[in-house]
Amino acid sequence: MSGIHIKNLNVSYGDTTVTHDVCLDVAEGESLALVGESGSGKSTVLKAIAGLATQWTGQIEIDGVARTHSIDRGIATKCQMVFQDPYGSLHPRKTIDATLSEPLQIHGIKDQSQRVIEQMANVQLDERYRFRFPHQLSGGQRQRVAIARSLMLGPKFLLLDEPTSALDVSVQAEILNLLKRIRLEQNLTYLVVTHNLAVVSFLCDRLAVMRSGEIVETANVSQLKSNKLEHPYSKELLQASRNHTSEKENV
């Protein structure tokens, strides 16, 4: 079965179980959002899929292959993750070129230089930045590098953990456009963690609402747009997000 399928996933950190029987199906080519407050376990689900949180029970199946608890190169080529904070996720002492080549080296892929150049063009990052260090780039440019790095191995699935929440409004718009474009061009599947429902509306087809480690509702984005979420908690979340905008209009 293609896509990402998760069944009864319980992830623990030490003695604390963070997610409780999470079941999630992401069809191929789909863009699914996981929304919820901090501490609801949405990032933890991504980490378990990416293999960063190894203490879990249940089933994780990626493109027909079950994920094991250890490092899995096959899954790494199919499924990559982009982190929230581009200031923290890039190695400060590696040039952009080194950062982007590293996945290729690990997987023993040739034409590294060519691929780095191609991928930088793909994320609209000028070639002159290739031998710079992360501190010489702006936040938006760093996030482009992080996205380029995740695409180096030609994955089918991207796990995006709050990809734009550390960015300014205008830069956020650029990165959102970029993510939308590469998804269309390369037919990628996204699993996006975010707390920003407007981002969900722009980038995703479906959303799953999480609260204290459980998925309380899955809905289509059309339901979000037309205010038709069912679970009381989802409604509350939607209301909180809409508040800023509606209050302004009521004044």
User: Residues interacting with another protein, by CB under 8 A?
Assistant: 37-39, 124-126, 129, 138-141, 144, 168-174, 176-177, 180, 195-199, 201-202, 224-226, 236-238, 240-245, 247-248, 251
Compute CA distances 22 → 40, 92, 101, 160, 183, whole Å.
12, 35, 35, 18, 26
**Minimal distance in Å, beta carbon 169 to another protein?**
5
Task: Name which of 101, 91, 105, 181 is nearest 137 in CA terms.
Answer: 91
**Minimal distance in Å, beta carbon 70 to another protein?**
32
- Of 67 and 142, the one with the shorter C-beta distance to another protein is 142
Task: Name which of 115, 117, 137, 136 is nearest 127 in CA terms.
Answer: 117
CA 118 – CA 137 distance, rounded (Å): 19
Task: Name which of 188, 166, 169 is nearest 179 in CA terms.
Answer: 188
- Of 21 and 236, the one with the shorter C-beta distance to another protein is 236
Token digits of residue 106 = 């690990």
194 φ, ψ (degrees, to nearest 5)? -160, 160
- Of 15 and 249, the one with the shorter C-beta distance to another protein is 249
- Of 58 and 139, the one with the shorter C-beta distance to another protein is 139
- Of 107 and 181, the one with the shorter C-beta distance to another protein is 181
**Minimal distance in Å, beta carbon 39 to another protein?**
8
